[in-house]
């Protein structure tokens, strides 16, 4: 009998325990599609009738999303294309806890409506005591748009020409601000702007003075700028966009502004990112004067920019929980990194591969701490490993340097070294 006529019935195949389990994880449509594909292969003579279940299971993705977890071995701690900060175990657990019904906007004791995300707001207040109040939106650009809309729609924003920056993917601060209906009053020059320049521009039409930290580039040489402290006495609100999400001083990054320090210097409002140096989920943080934060919170645009319960849960856990993966990578001991690189290279060389431990330099990334390098260690492999490692399971993304693939370990948790070795060995041929 022609084997192709023995194609098993769909309902029979779907009753296999492996596919019942897969259906609970991936949904019925995905499982039926995989089964239909395996049945077609039987009809075409490529597959035996008894192999349909196995082929269908093998064709199914591991999870119901096209996003794949990646091992970031690029040496860029906050790699924008790889999702920036990795969440801590505490934040991941918090997201799981909040995934179902949760008291995000409900007081369980009183049985009444409560302030949305009050736990995250309280955690922010504790983390930055210099802030009278806090609000969270979906990213830092959104925080800046909200502030500009509330304080300066139809009015002027005074900003230095040296701070009219592009923030990535073609988006520019000037265009972002003008989209709110505000007018820009540019002062100073590209390389030098003084307090006197701002003072001459401030007037009845001024909504606020904006200080933007040029987080993804540096200007050197004959330069000058006015500090937040110098601008605090101009009689109008001072808004500081610090960008990177650093809440307090970080000795390793002395030139990176922090929210607490900027507020103590006299800023009325600070905007920052949650998924950069804070090491949390994507979010825009708004910290500062209670009256200004409340105006932003009550504006209709705030509803369109608000974050969901998962972000609030992850943010609170990031603030209250243990050190984040970003903090651990930032403070990794160079000697420990070198020892890991030697051990990993030794394992691979022992399997006959051209692998060696080398010194490396990592960077913060994500628009933070431009020009700052961090001593690191890497495993150097032939460049031909780059593509198969990127497309393998798990994907390992390194960087090409000097015709070699470097697997930089500063952003790779030590517990993943075995996974890196396994990934390399799996694609060695």
Same domain, 139 and 113: yes
Are residues 254 and 216 located together in one domain of the fold?
yes
Of 273, 300, 322, the residue at which a domain comes to its end is 322
Asked if residue 37 is part of any domain, the answer here is: yes
Residues 294 and 337 occupy one common structural domain: no
Domain boundary among 322, 353, 375: 322
| 179 is a domain residue | yes
**Residue 216 lies inside a defined structural domain of this protein:** yes
Residues 309 and 359 in one domain: no
151/33 same-domain check: no
Angle between helices 290-298 and 140-152 (to 10 degrees): 100
Nearest to 70, CA basis, from 404, 390, 376: 390
The CA distance from 337 to 315, in Å, is 29
- State the pLDDT at residue 400: 97
**Number of folded domains that form the chain:** 3
Residue 77 lies in a domain: yes
| Mean pLDDT across the chain | 93
* pLDDT band at residue 298 under the 50/70/90 scheme: very high
Q: Domain containing 378 — which CATH number?
A: 3.90.1150.180
> Cis bond leading into 173, ω under 30°?
no
**Per the domain annotation, does 151 fall within a domain?**
yes
Following DSSP, what letter does each residue of 68-115 receive, concatenated?
Answer: ---EE-SSEEE-GGGTSSPPPHHHHHHHHHHSSS--TTEETTTTEE--
Q: CB of 293 within 8 A of CB of 132?
A: yes
Between these two residues, 173 and 95, which has the higher pLDDT value? 95
- Whether residue 1 is predicted with pLDDT greater than 60 in this model: the reply is no
d(CA 381, CA 391): 16
pLDDT of residue 118: 94
Question: Does residue 33 surpass a pLDDT of 80?
Answer: yes
Does residue 65 sit within a domain?
no
Do 162 and 183 sit in the same domain of this protein?
yes
Strands (E), 131-170: 133-137, 156-160, 166-168
Phi and psi at residue 269, to the nearest 5°: -140, 145
Task: Classify residue 111: in a domain, yes or no.
Answer: yes
pLDDT level of residue 10 (50, 70, 90 thresholds): very high
Q: Give CA–CA dist 337/282, Å, rounded.
A: 28
Between CA 305 and CA 327 the distance in angstroms is 28
Asked if 194 and 278 sit in the same domain, the reply is yes
197 and 245 co-located in one domain:
yes
Residues 308 and 404 in one domain: no
pLDDT tens digits, 194-251: 999 999 999 999 999 999 987 655 666 667 888 999 999 899 999 999 988 899 999 9
Do 109 and 157 reside in the same domain of the chain? yes
Q: Give pLDDT, residue 222.
A: 65
* Co-location of 143 and 221 in the same domain: yes
Where is pLDDT greater, at 137 or 43?
137
Last residue of a domain, one of 322, 338, 370: 322
**33 and 114 part of one domain:** no
| 20, 71, 341, 385, 424 from 407: Cα distances, Å | 39, 10, 9, 10, 10
Which residues constitute the domain of residue 230?
89-322
Residue 282 maps to which CATH number?
Answer: 3.40.640.10
Which pLDDT does position 249 carry in this prediction?
A: 94
- The tens digit of pLDDT for each residue in 309-348 reads 999 999 999 999 999 999 999 999 999 999 999 999 999 9
Q: Looking up tokens 């690189």, which residue turns up?
A: 341
DSSP 248: S
% of the chain residues with pLDDT over 90: 84
* 64 within some domain: no
- 378 touches 341 (CB < 8 A): yes
CB under 8 Å to 145, separation ≥6 — which residues? 176, 177, 179, 180, 301, 305
Measured in Å, how far apart are the chain's first and last C-alpha atoms? 40
């Amino acid at each position: 009998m022609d084997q192709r006529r023995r194609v098993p019935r769909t309902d029979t195949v779907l009753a296999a325990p492996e596919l019942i389990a897969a259906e609970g994880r991936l949904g019925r449509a995905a499982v039926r599609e995989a089964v239909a594909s395996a049945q077609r292969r039987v009809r075409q003579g490529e597959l035996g009738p008894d192999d349909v279940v196995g082929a269908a299971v093998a064709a199914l993705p591991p999870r119901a999303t096209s996003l794949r977890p990646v091992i970031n071995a690029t040496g860029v701690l906050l790699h924008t294309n790889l999702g920036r900060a990795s969440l801590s175990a505490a934040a991941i657990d918090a997201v799981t806890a909040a995934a179902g019904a949760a008291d995000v906007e409900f007081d369980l004791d009183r049985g009444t409506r409560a302030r949305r995300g009050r736990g995250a707001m309280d955690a922010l207040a504790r983390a930055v005591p210099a802030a009278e109040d806090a609000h969270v939106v979906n990213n830092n650009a959104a925080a800046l748009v909200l502030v500009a809309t509330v304080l300066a729609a139809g009015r002027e924003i005074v900003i230095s020409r040296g701070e009219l920056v592009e923030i990535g993917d073609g988006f520019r601060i000037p265009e972002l601000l003008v989209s709110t209906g505000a007018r820009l009053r540019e002062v100073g020059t590209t390389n030098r702007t003084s307090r006197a320049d701002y003072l001459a521009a401030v007037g009845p039409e001024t909504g606020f003075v904006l200080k933007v930290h040029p987080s993804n580039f540096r200007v050197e040489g004959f330069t000058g700028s006015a500090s937040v402290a110098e601008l605090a006495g101009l009689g109008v609100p001072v808004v500081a966009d610090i960008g990177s999400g650093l809440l307090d001083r970080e000795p390793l990054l002395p030139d990176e502004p922090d929210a607490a320090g900027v507020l103590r210097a006299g800023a009325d409002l600070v905007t920052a990112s949650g998924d950069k140096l804070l090491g949390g989920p994507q979010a825009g943080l708004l910290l500062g004067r209670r009256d200004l934060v409340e105006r932003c919170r009550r504006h209709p645009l705030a509803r369109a920019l608000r974050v969901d319960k998962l972000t609030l849960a992850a943010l609170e856990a990031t603030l209250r929980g243990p050190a984040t993966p970003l903090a651990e990578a930032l403070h990794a001991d160079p000697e420990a990194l070198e020892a890991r690189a030697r051990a990993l290279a030794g394992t691979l060389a022992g399997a006959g591969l051209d692998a060696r431990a080398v010194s490396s330099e990592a960077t913060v990334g994500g628009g933070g701490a431009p020009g700052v390098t961090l001593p690191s260690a890497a495993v150097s492999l032939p460049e031909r490993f780059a593509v198969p490692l990127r497309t393998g399971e798990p994907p390992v993304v390194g960087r090409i340097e000097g015709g070699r693939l470097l697997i930089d370990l500063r952003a790779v948790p030590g517990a993943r070294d075995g996974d890196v070795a396994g990934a390399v060995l799996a694609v060695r041929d």
